[in-house]
Amino acid sequence: MDPIRRSLLGQLAKLTAGAALVPLSSVASAGINDQPPRRGGDPEKRYGMLIDLRRCIGCQACTVSCHIENAAPLGNFRTVVSQFEVEHEETGELATFMLPRLCNHCENPPCVPVCPVQATFQRQDGIVVVDSDRCVGCAYCVNACPYDARFINPRTQTADKCTFCAHRLEANLLPACVESCVGGARIIGDMRDPQSEISQLIEQHRGELMVLKPEKNTLPQVFYLGMDERFTTRPDGIKPAIWDVANQNGKEIGYEFDGH
Amino acid sequence: MNSMAIEMLVPRYGIAWYPWAVQYFFLIALSYATLWLAVPGLIFGKKAWMPTARIAMLACVSTTLVGPVALLADLHQPLRFWHFYGYPAPWSWMSLGSFILPLYLGAVVVLAWMSWRPALKARSQHDDGWFSKVAGWLSWGHWEVPRPLMVLVGLGALALSLGIMVYTGAEVAIVRARPLWHTYWLPFAFVATGFIGACGLVMLLNRISQVRNAITNRQMFSVMIGACIAMGFIALTWFLDGVNAVDGSVAMALDSIKDSEQWRNTALWGGIAGIALFVIAIILRLRERLWGWGWLVGLLALHVAWMFRWVVLMDVQTVARNSAGYHNYDMAFGSYGLMGILGTFGLWIAAILLIDLFVPWRGNEARAITDKSSSSSDISTGAPSHG
Ligand code: SF4
Ligand code: SF4
Ligand code: SF4
């Protein structure tokens, strides 16, 4: 990516993180593909997450604990930590970069208005959820999320995604990923409460926070601290390094890394 | 970037819409386009377009009936389809579509029934055993359908078909998360390629059904040339919008072509097939003795219309969103893959055969002529059988 475009995107990332922090007044429904009214949840709260990348060690404890807590089927993840190996082109120096991904519980979630049966909706506390009894499994929301945060659960045949562990929050517990985070990188909390840890961290680092893919205008509510702006969008130079390994019958038996 | 990065760990993201979706978009586009091809003859009473209208109506009814089946099959919870009506979401294009579609289907079926009724009544008076009986039931009484009523239903179906065009296009084009879809030009491209395919289908049915009307082929060549020009214009405008940075889907498309041999081949193939179709259609249109080859052009046209939807709906879903590159989609041989595609086509052919068996859709006048032409040996040039 050329430097001008990169720094522009970086600026955009920062600006949008700032704009996203100004709580939008609940958008009343009007035209097609506008956000429908929010329902359920505590209107006094707005949950958000801050991920301090400087503290993430890439241990995937969050991935595993989420997988167990939410009984996701094998191969599907509500949260995952992308690991990049970054090589400096001139010096050949190597570094790793960790990027935990999960649903951003966007302030302007494109996955919600597309749902034809109101099965996916945003609660008043900002959490985006799926009513799996109502979902018809059309997968429209899976395509509409720019972050690949959703999948069709092969067991329930309905849309599945991170809920910020809403069931745990209601019981005054932390989400599984936060609870298990070894580095203390994940901080969740009510952003409407100025005394909460997340509010104070946001206040403290306002200028440095970034969100993923700001250009999609989704206003993500998962904020990254210590982010390299090149990773906020679909990075041009990055290639996934995994190949499927299949047995003689073409059945997949594992992964192999490309030249590493 | 002065550094290279490799993503070491990526979960595999499958595709969310299966080939069923391609089948639906293909069939429903053929449906609305063939309806429009039937209009000059059926609604505006243009005699020269009547044979075309009859074939187009057969194509329209069969695709309209089978399309929604494919759509239903693309749901992971097909039995919950009633949720569309129990929990409407007027802000969702898909929800709007779920209301337009049954109305459209109803209008098309009623229109076809009205247009087939005179021939059904005539057949019920012949002594054809079961076929006469069925024809008698289907024609449902001896009263006449007033022409204005038929025109009204026809216009209603047309209006609803506009709704189908808009909703199927918008449903995909609003998805910002897939830059290749997110362009104003996509709905127009769906319609243009839909007409290309519909002309092809009419020519193919013209041949298979032994109607072999040369005028129909001439008309279809003309419409197809028009649709090709429209498609070329759409593609060009989309591209120009892209170079002027109005439209991100072009940059994305160029990136894809740059990075992937498979995409390069697909783009090349699409371009060649489209241009070849255009040139062949013009050549054949100008040479009357070649009109009989319309069915072959028809096959190519159907291929172009189907491929376009396959690339747009399936291939685009394999473009990775969080990194460069692609997620492989190897078509499964189950009901989600190949069997789904074949099953839909099988159902479609069955629908056509059933209609052909029980409905004298060629019309009363055509009866004598088709009897004659099917016994004639030199038919590949296709003698005009109507005005
Ligand atoms: S990250 Fe995706 S699934 Fe989550 S709210 Fe945003 S658009 Fe919806
Ligand atoms: S998959 Fe379910 S939640 Fe997603 S858009 Fe379709 S019905 Fe709504
Ligand atoms: S558990 Fe915490 S430190 Fe470990 S990968 Fe997840 S976010 Fe990073």
Nearest CA, atom 4, ligand 2: A141
* B256 vs B353, residue with greater confidence: B353
Q: Render pLDDT for A18-74 as a digit per residue (tens, 0 to 9).
A: 444 444 333 333 478 889 999 988 999 999 999 999 999 999 999 999 999 999 888
Please tell me the predicted confidence (pLDDT) of residue A5: 46
Name the residue facing B95 among A86, A87, A116 (closest C-beta).
Answer: A116
Please tell me the predicted confidence (pLDDT) of residue B29: 97
Give the span between the Cα atoms of B322 and B158, in whole angstroms: 42
Say whether residue A144 is in contact with chain B using an 8 A CB cutoff.
Answer: yes
Task: Say if A213 falls within a structural domain.
Answer: yes
Task: Say if A242 falls within a structural domain.
Answer: no
Task: Say if A221 falls within a structural domain.
Answer: yes
For residue A174, name the pLDDT band (cuts at 50, 70, 90): very high
What average pLDDT does chain A have?
83
* B2 vs A86, residue with greater confidence: A86
Chain B residue whose CA is closest to A121: B89
Asked if pLDDT for residue B156 goes beyond 70, the answer is yes
Strand partners, A239: B6
* Range of the structural domain that residue A50 is part of: 3-21+38-229
Task: Say if A164 falls within a structural domain.
Answer: yes
Surface of A (198-217) touching B: CB under 8 A: 216-217
Task: Say if A252 falls within a structural domain.
Answer: no
Q: Which residues of A touch B88 (CB under 8 A)?
A: 117
Query: Is the minimum distance from the CB of A78 to ligand 1 under 6 angstroms?
Result: no
Say whether residue A139 is in contact with chain B using an 8 A CB cutoff.
Answer: yes
Task: Say if B8 falls within a structural domain.
Answer: no
* B276 within 8 A of B285, measured Cβ to Cβ: no
Task: Say if A55 falls within a structural domain.
Answer: yes
Please tell me the predicted confidence (pLDDT) of residue B144: 83
Q: What percent of chain B has pLDDT over 90?
A: 51
Task: Say if B7 falls within a structural domain.
Answer: no
Q: Which residues of B touch A88 (CB under 8 A)?
A: 2-3
* A95 within 8 A of A86, measured Cβ to Cβ: yes
Please tell me the predicted confidence (pLDDT) of residue B7: 73
Both tokens of A224, joined, read: 């990254």
* Range of the structural domain that residue B151 is part of: 19-320+333-359
Task: Say if B386 falls within a structural domain.
Answer: no
Number of domains in chain A: 1
For residue A208, name the pLDDT band (cuts at 50, 70, 90): very high
Task: Say if A108 falls within a structural domain.
Answer: yes
Nearest CA, atom 5, ligand 1: A105
pTM: 0.87
* B377 vs A85, residue with greater confidence: A85
Ligand 3 pocket list (CB less than 6 A): A 56-62, 81, 98, 100, 180-183, 185-186
For residue A239, name the pLDDT band (cuts at 50, 70, 90): low
Question: CA end-to-end span of chain B, whole Å?
Answer: 68
According to DSSP, residue A210 is labeled B
> Any residues with CB less than 8 A from the CB of A209 and at least 6 apart, and which?
A14, A17, A18, A50, A202, A223, A224, A225, A227
- DSSP class per residue in A171-193: TT---HHHHH-TT--EEEEETT-
Task: Say if A216 falls within a structural domain.
Answer: yes
CATH of the domain at A202: 3.30.70.20
The order of strands in the sheet holding A94-101 is A94-101, A80-88, B3-7, A238-240
Number of domains in chain B: 1
Give the span between the Cα atoms of A144 and B174, in whole angstroms: 9
> Any residues with CB less than 8 A from the CB of B189 and at least 6 apart, and which?
B231, B234, B235, B238, B308
Task: Say if B368 falls within a structural domain.
Answer: no
8 Å CB contact of B11 and A113: no
Asked if pLDDT for residue B168 goes beyond 80, the answer is yes
